[in-house]
Structure 1
């Protein structure tokens, strides 16, 4: 089984992604686009609970 850390290392090394972006993609690879909403305020807040993979921001 592929581990989360292995995916992070691969994305950061081969694609020069930052940690946050690599973590988001690793989560999708291992668990799909749904996630638990943890941020309640701030710039990273996303109350939808689904990672958008098309690169477009949804209207608020």
Structure 2
């Protein structure tokens, strides 16, 4: 006896190709601007509550 069966399959094929190149550039530039300073105050209670105090040890 013989039987006919439909067989379907998926095949992955590339539909486009992309080339990626890199170029290294080195440059020096003088910048004149006002420099700002930033300070961050952290409460010890907050650091302990989030576990930051524990990770620092």
Greater RCO structure (CA 8 Å; 6+ sep): 1
Fold match, TM over 0.5?
no
Larger Rg: 2
- The two structures have a TM-score, normalised by structure 2, of 0.15
